Structure 1
Amino acid sequence: MHDALTGLLQQQAPVGRGTWRSWWDQLGDNRLDKAEVLALLASLTSRLPDHHTLRHLLDSLAERRTPHPAGAGWQGTVNVVGTGGGPRTFNISTASAFVAAATGVKVVKTGSRAYTSSLGSVDLLERLGVRLTSSYAQTEDTLDAHGIAFAGPFVYPVQLTRLARTVAPTGLKPFGRFLNALGPFLADLPVTAQVTGVSAAAPLETLRELAGSTEGRRIWLVSNDTGADELLPFAVNTVHGERGLTRIVRPGELTPGDGSFADLRPAADPGAAVDQFRSVLAGAAGAVATRTVCLGAAALAVAAGTRRDWLSAVAEAEEAVRSGAALALADRLAAATRAGDRAGARDLEVARV
């Protein structure tokens, strides 16, 4: 049994970076069998280990990454991502990303397919016709062209792919609780800031420690008294910022405080998710839905440093919805994807000739 698994099971001391290095080396060399890999993932999922073990795990993966291209550093850009696992809603953070970008904030959204929900952000974007970017250069080009980009799997350690292949056909979905909790710290992007929604299903204090020991970007963690991984107008929200600083956002402080999760329910039929999402961006899904995505968009603007005042950031977000700018941005991004597909098909046809 590998020392990483033994250490997780015994929980007598943190699992060190050297032990994790050995684990990834043996995984890459196919020296770990499926049962051992499944056991380690099950241990991480059933009980998330201490902050030091997780820090060593993250650092052991970070040191294996290919460095960012020279000069990469997307100043004023914010990444938005959540841990999932809270009450079921439509894809609020994805909608907030479009709304914030429509106000001029540069936004990168990372996410995954559904682990604990019926439709993850990647599933929704696929239905919207928006393609994920496949490289840092493509992400930067998309940001320059549209002010928003949805980063693909290239931002995550390749070791995750190796884990998935090793445990196939089981897949990683049974371990979604661990992957969702740690996922926001696995994505490698040269952004200025990151806003991470933390649900009651995730270990907030452990994630706060990880955020405090993460270098290179400002990380805000957002939680509330409903257990959702979003800022909500009808909840008492806490924004956990840098150096332990927090801000409480109470109902009625930045937007009217009425409403409930009934106003944020996902479409009953996943096939109707696109229509519902478009209605949210257009401001036609109800006042509470609009307030919610605008509150989230305001957080992205303030975290990125492009706005200082929350109230004015909320007002700008509301105008982006009311004017149709947010929906128009989503349509432009989908149109750009279609145009890229047509160009790719033509190039392929020429190559065949």
Structure 2
Amino acid sequence: MKTILNKLYSHERLSKSEATQVLKDIAAEKYNDAHLASFMTVFMMRPITADELSGFRDALNELAIKVDLSDYNTIDIVGTGGDGKNTFNISTLTSFIVAGTGQKVAKHGNYSVSSQSGSSDMLESFGYNFTNEERVLRAHLEEANICFLHAPKFHPAMKAVSSTRKALALKTFFNMLGPLVNPSAPQNHMLGTFNLEVARLYNYILQAENVNYGIIHALDGYDEISLTGAFKFFTKHGEQIISPEDLGQKRIQQAAIFGGNSVADAAKIFKTIIDGNGSDAQNNVVLTNAAFALTIVDETKPFETAFEEVKASLFGLKAKQTLEKLVRI
């Protein structure tokens, strides 16, 4: 690691193969916490390159415990986190609403590092037991239209750095990697990023792959459609800037999507919304994200049609039923 660190401190970049190897060594726990923290800090201080991100991703995918869910045409709905906005669990709620429409969801997630509550914190608080057994995950998809893949169960490298990431309590390049390394390799992706540069890197990487994807970066810094302002939307067909008004929505204030100060606070907000009792702002944010997810899976589906489908899922309590089924199975 000293050789790698000295190279990085000299403002050099890693080749794709070097990036792959150093992540494999991290997974093998060859480095101490100080080296790991130093290594991660480099990529907080300067942009990561496409080769570095691709190399890290290749290592994680090669080492991952994989599951085959290809029969189900799943979508993953996930953000990088690290946007510092401390919203409620928008992507997780969106996932349940999408599942409530009948669309299969393979949600990849983890505990929070830089905010109050990640998707794993939320599901664990509701009594969900993490698993990497393919048979169980398939059963979840069959019965609840959704399964959850807790990253440390599938990625030894993420597990190897979990304590260092938690101690840093800052976004690192692992935030960038998470949405790109779903171990079930879903056919559809809705990805949110905390900055525009990462969105462009994702677009560059995913353009070369045979998947449907939509990448979202809110221009005011959110890693999801926040309705607090316009957002950039990338697909394999191009990119565009979309405002809430373009979607027939009103702009909202940041305070309207605040996630609370603890996992308990976040869980209370989550429960209120999935019970159909959220505020207009909370509901419209998750419904807009969910509608976009459906249009990513089916490019011919108009946003307005998708919006009506996800409204029926949320207010018909189908999303709530998917959560109850998932926790109960």
Same fold, TM-score > 0.5, yes or no: yes
CA distance in 2, matches of 1:27, 1:232: 35
- Contact 1:77 1:191 (8 Å CA) reproduced: yes
> Residue 267 and residue 242 in structure 1: after superposition, are their counterparts in 2 closer, same or farther (change >3 A)?
same
> Residue 149 and residue 173 in structure 1: after superposition, are their counterparts in 2 closer, same or farther (change >3 A)?
farther
CA distance in 1, matches of 2:213, 2:43: 23
Pairing 1:249-288 to 2, within 5 Å after superposition = 249-268=242-261, 270-288=263-281
Q: Which amino acid aligns with 1:92?
A: I
TM-aligned CA deviation for residue 201 of structure 1: 8.5
Q: Secondary structure at the match of 2:111?
A: coil
Q: Secondary structure at the match of 1:176?
A: coil
CA distance in 1, matches of 2:21, 2:295: 41
Q: Secondary structure at the match of 1:151?
A: strand
TM-aligned CA deviation for residue 91 of structure 1: 0.6
TM-aligned CA deviation for residue 29 of structure 1: 6.2
Larger Rg: 1
Q: Which sits farther off after the overlay, 220-229 or 251-260?
A: 251-260
CA distance in 2, matches of 1:289, 1:5: 44
Alignment match, 1:12:
12
Q: Which amino acid aligns with 2:48?
A: P
Alignment match, 1:203:
198
- Contact 2:112 2:119 (8 Å CA) reproduced: yes
TM-aligned CA deviation for residue 156 of structure 1: 4.1
Does residue 73 (structure 1) correspond to residue 70 (structure 2)? The answer is: yes
Q: Secondary structure at the match of 1:191?
A: coil
Does residue 99 (structure 1) correspond to residue 94 (structure 2)? The answer is: no
TM-aligned CA deviation for residue 158 of structure 1: 1.6
2:231 corresponds, among 208, 232, 237, to: 237
CA distance in 1, matches of 2:244, 2:29: 53
CA distance in 1, matches of 2:44, 2:267: 32
Identity %: 20
1:259-302, CA deviations, whole angstroms, 9 ceiling, x for partnerless residues? 22222122355423323212111331211111111111111111
2:310 corresponds, among 294, 313, 317, to: 317
> Residue 256 and residue 46 in structure 1: after superposition, are their counterparts in 2 closer, same or farther (change >3 A)?
same
Q: Which amino acid aligns with 1:281?
A: I
CA distance in 2, matches of 1:66, 1:110: 13
CA distance in 2, matches of 1:67, 1:217: 18
1:96-143, CA deviations, whole angstroms, 9 ceiling, x for partnerless residues? 111111111111211211111111111111112223332333222211
Q: Which amino acid aligns with 2:254?
A: F
CA RMSD of aligned residues (A): 2.7
TM-score normalised by structure 2 residue count: 0.87
Q: Which amino acid aligns with 2:282?
A: A
Alignment match, 1:219:
213
1:47-81, CA deviations, whole angstroms, 9 ceiling, x for partnerless residues? 34211122122223333445655xx5144210011
Structure 1 gap ranges (5+): 337-353
Structure 2 gap ranges (5+): none
TM-score normalised by structure 1 residue count: 0.82
- Contact 1:85 1:200 (8 Å CA) reproduced: no
CA distance in 2, matches of 1:156, 1:48: 27
CA distance in 2, matches of 1:96, 1:30: 35
CA distance in 2, matches of 1:21, 1:268: 37
Pairing 1:171-190 to 2, within 5 Å after superposition = 172-174=166-168, 176-190=171-185
**Count of aligned residue pairs for this structure pair:** 327
Q: Secondary structure at the match of 1:256?
A: coil
CA distance in 2, matches of 1:66, 1:328: 29
CA distance in 2, matches of 1:230, 1:56: 25
Q: Secondary structure at the match of 2:244?
A: coil
Does residue 143 (structure 1) correspond to residue 156 (structure 2)? The answer is: no
Q: Secondary structure at the match of 1:80?
A: strand
